Chains A and B, each alone.
Chain A
């Protein structure tokens, strides 16, 4: 990495849901504004917990986190969101009884002005949603719901978007579409930090990957390094011994 300053920096970071029971231990992490960083690892490794901690949604945390150079340790989620962090939880991430447009209005609840214009801009990024802004969120497909959840998080023009397993409940075709949409959002200048179970697909789109095991950072490297590393392949990408991953297989379409 060059000597530019990171968008997000996490230092000697530990935390959990109950005081005294740590789920993540001593994690160090940097995210730069022009990156997609994907956190992978087995179930229960603390990936989602780390993401929650970063957006201020974890009851107990120790260590420091910095956002855009400012010490934001201990900041609450609303405060983080107001300062430019978008967060999409894995589940319950839309208001199901409300329309697409109303969901976006709620996403932009903290905006002082330009709500209507921003709804127009965000809808333009998601053609599926733009076609029927009055549709109730409960009637959307899994992929569309996930798009709406991201659209909602984009309402406050975040510079960083935190996505918790965005493709978890989706069919393979919808997964690819969603990941390419995330890449498009990234290209508008949004740093992306995501946690993924579908590691191979996500790493194809990522600049860097980070492996977590038992609440600790086990490995870190470029997306390409992760995909081609036999160790990572065996442990986390479901590859058999000797089976390598070729970049053609998973190239960005």
Chain B
């Protein structure tokens, strides 16, 4: 959702989004790991979930940190490129460079190993039809829904959010209406960065904390965004679900090694039938 929002409002295909997830993941890891424990944030466990207050603090730190990082990048890189008349392609290549740099810094600090937020085995409970779900996964689904609802509220119910949509729709007219589009751009990077960090922590919770975990999700992420209709947050949510489920279900019939290709098969088929994505609207 963060990726599609940034594209919709800013016209930037942000290849660094996956590594922003990575940074969110590791900032939270820093808080809950032994370094964080020295600061007194690590402890606690909520009911049957695998984590406690430490990770809540970690999520907040991650969201603020990645939002701040995104702001700095807008000011130092994207704003300059925009002022110099940069096109979509220029933004994409710049963000690809940023992506590589960000990933390298994570690897430099934390190395190439895998980590977990909380060690130990966290058993799954069985729900309907023999499907096993971990308590953490319920939590992740809940947080995702909450984030989607909050994003909807921001975009459709607040003055700032409506100005974001107006800027995405028609930047020239937005500016002529007195909307400070630079402020809107900063705001969009903040929201996009926070969503990336949140997604990164959830990914770390669900799988493992690894320097390239966010990056490895980048291509399926783009697939989800394109599927949903680029620039459409609800489409992205649905596209993400579709891509994820299709990948897992496909292993019933095909070799697991081919799984990463599934999203793109779906994208090709959908785009052939609906060039603007499933929920893209004609202008």
Chain A residues at the B interface, C-beta cutoff of 8 Å: 55, 57, 77-78, 81-82, 87, 89, 92-98, 102, 105-107, 109-110, 138, 152
Residue in A94, A105, A110, A152 whose beta carbon sits within 8 Å of that of B162 in the complex: A105
Cα A106 to Cα B176 with chains together (Å): 10
State whether A98 touches B162 (Cβ < 8 A).
yes
Q: Nearest chain B CB to A203's CB is how many angstroms away?
A: 28
Contact B283 A81 (CB under 8 A): no
How distant is the Cα of A138 from the Cα of B163 in the complex, in angstroms? 18
| A95:B169 contact, CB within 8 angstroms | yes
Q: Are A95 and B173 in contact (CB-based, < 8 A)? A: yes
Q: Which 10 A-B pairs have the closest CB atoms?
A: A110-B178, A95-B169, A78-B178, A106-B166, A77-B176, A97-B169, A95-B166, A109-B177, A109-B178, A106-B177
A-B pairs with beta carbons under 8 Å apart, 5 shown: A89-B176, A95-B169, A95-B173, A96-B283, A97-B169
User: Within 8 Å CB of B163, what residues of A?
Assistant: 106, 109
Contact A107–B169 (Cβ < 8 Å): no
Residue from the list A92, A110, A138 in contact with B177, Cβ < 8 A? A110
Would A138 and B283 count as touching, CB distance under 8 A?
Answer: yes
Q: Which residue of B lies closest to A78 (CB)?
A: B178
**Given A95-B169, A138-B283, A81 contacting B177 (CB threshold 8 A):** yes
Residues of B within 8 A of A (CB): 159, 162-163, 165-166, 168-170, 172-179, 281-283
Least CB distance from B41 to A in Å reads: 41
A138 to B159, CA, bound (A): 21
Q: Is the CB of B281 within 8 A of A107?
A: no
Q: Are A92 and B173 in contact (CB under 8 A)?
A: yes
Shortest CB–CB separation between residue A146 and chain B, in angstroms? Answer: 14
CA distance A98 to B161 in the complex (A): 12
Q: Whole-angstrom distance from the CB of A19 to the nearest CB of chain B?
A: 16
CA A82 – CA B177 in complex, angstroms? 9
Chain B: interface secondary structure?
Answer: helix
In the complex, are the beta carbons of A95 and B176 less than 8 A apart? no
Whether A138 contacts B281 by the Cβ 8 Å rule is yes
Measured in the bound complex, the distance between the Cα atoms of B168 and A106 in whole Å is 13
Could you tell me the distance in whole angstroms from the C-beta of B186 to the nearest C-beta in chain A?
Answer: 17
Residues of B within 8 A of A106 (CB): 162-163, 166, 174, 177, 179
Contacts of B172 in A (CB 8 A): 89, 92
Give the distance in Å from the alpha carbon of A82 to the alpha carbon of B172 in the complex. Answer: 16
CA distance A7 to B175 in the complex (A): 24
- Of listed B159, B177, B179, residue having the most chain A CB within 10 A: B177
| Cβ–Cβ < 8 Å partners of A57 in chain B | 176
What's the minimum C-beta distance from A64 to chain B, rounded to whole angstroms?
22
Interchain CB contact under 8 A, B173 and A89: yes
B283 nearest in chain A by CB position? A96
* A95 contact set on B, CB distance < 8 A: 165-166, 169-170, 173-174
How many Å lie between the Cα of A87 and that of B177 in the bound state?
9
Residue in chain A with minimal CB distance to B8: A97
Residues on the A chain within 8 Å of B174, using CB: 95, 106
- B178's partner among A81, A93, A97 (CB-CB below 8 A) is A81
Q: Is the CB of A93 within 8 A of B162?
A: no
Cα separation A109 to B283 with both chains bound (whole Å): 23
B75 smallest CB distance to A (angstroms): 22
Of the listed residues A77, A78, A97, the one surrounded by the most CB atoms of chain B closer than 10 A to its CB is A97
Q: A96-B283, A105-B162 are in contact. Are A77 and B169 (CB under 8 A)?
A: no
Q: Are B166 and A98 in contact (CB under 8 A)?
A: yes
Across the interface, A97 reaches (CB within 8 A) one of B165, B175, B177, B179, namely B165
Find out whether the CB atom of A93 lies under 8 angstroms from the CB atom of B177.
Answer: no
Q: Using Cβ atoms and an 8 Å threshold, which residues of chain B touch A55?
A: 176
A151 to chain B, nearest CB (A): 13
- How long is the Cα–Cα vector from A188 to B259 in the complex, in angstroms? 66
List chain A residues, Cβ under 8 A from B166: 95, 98, 102, 106
Residue of B nearest to A111 (CB): B178
Q: Which residues of chain A have C-beta atoms less than 8 A from B168's C-beta?
A: 97
Residue of A nearest to B165 (CB): A98
CA distance A82 to B180 in the complex (A): 13
Q: Can you name the residue of chain B whose Cβ is closest to the Cβ of A115?
A: B159
Shortest distance between the CB of B232 and any CB in chain A (Å):
10
